[in-house]
Chains A and B, each alone.
Chain A
Amino acid sequence: EAAVTQSPRNKVTVTGGNVTLSCRQTNSHNYMYWYRQDTGHGLRLIHYSYGAGNLQIGDVPDGYKATRTTQEDFFLLLELASPSQTSLYFCASSDVRKTSAETLYFGSGTRLTVL
Chain B
Amino acid sequence: GEQVEQRPPHLSVREGDSAIIICTYTDSATAYFSWYKQEAGAGLQLLMSVLSNVDRKEEQGLTVLLNKKDKRLSLNLTAAHPGDSAVYFCAVSEGGSALGRLHFGAGTQLIVIP
Interface residue B45 (Cβ < 8 Å from any Cβ of A) = yes
- Residues B100 and A96 in contact, CB atoms below 8 Å apart: yes
- Residues A48 and B101 in contact, CB atoms below 8 Å apart: yes
Give the size category of A's interface with B.
Answer: 20 to 34
- Residues A102 and B102 in contact, CB atoms below 8 Å apart: yes
A7 to B32, CA, bound (A): 30
Q: Which single residue of chain B is at the shortest CB-CB distance from A106?
A: B43
Given A59-B1, A101-B32, check contact A44 B44 (CB 8 Å): no
Interface hits, B78-111 → A, CB 8 Å: 89, 91, 93, 95, 99-107
Given A42-B106, A103-B49, check contact A33 B43 (CB 8 Å): no
Interface hits, A77-106 → B, CB 8 Å: 90, 92, 94, 96, 98, 101-104, 106
- Residues B102 and A108 in contact, CB atoms below 8 Å apart: no
Chain A residues in 8 Å Cβ range of B107 = 42
A45 to B104, CA, bound (A): 9
Greatest chain B CB density within 10 A among A43, A103, A107, A109 is at A43
A48 to B89, CA, bound (A): 20
- Residues B102 and A104 in contact, CB atoms below 8 Å apart: yes
Q: Which single residue of chain B is at the shortest CB-CB distance from A101?
A: B49
A107 to B71, CA, bound (A): 30
Chain B residues in 8 Å Cβ range of A4 = 43
- Residues A109 and B93 in contact, CB atoms below 8 Å apart: no
Greatest chain A CB density within 10 A among B34, B102, B105, B107 is at B102
Interface residues of A (CB under 8 A from B): 4, 31, 33, 35, 40-45, 48, 50, 56, 58-59, 90, 92, 94, 96, 98, 101-104, 106-109
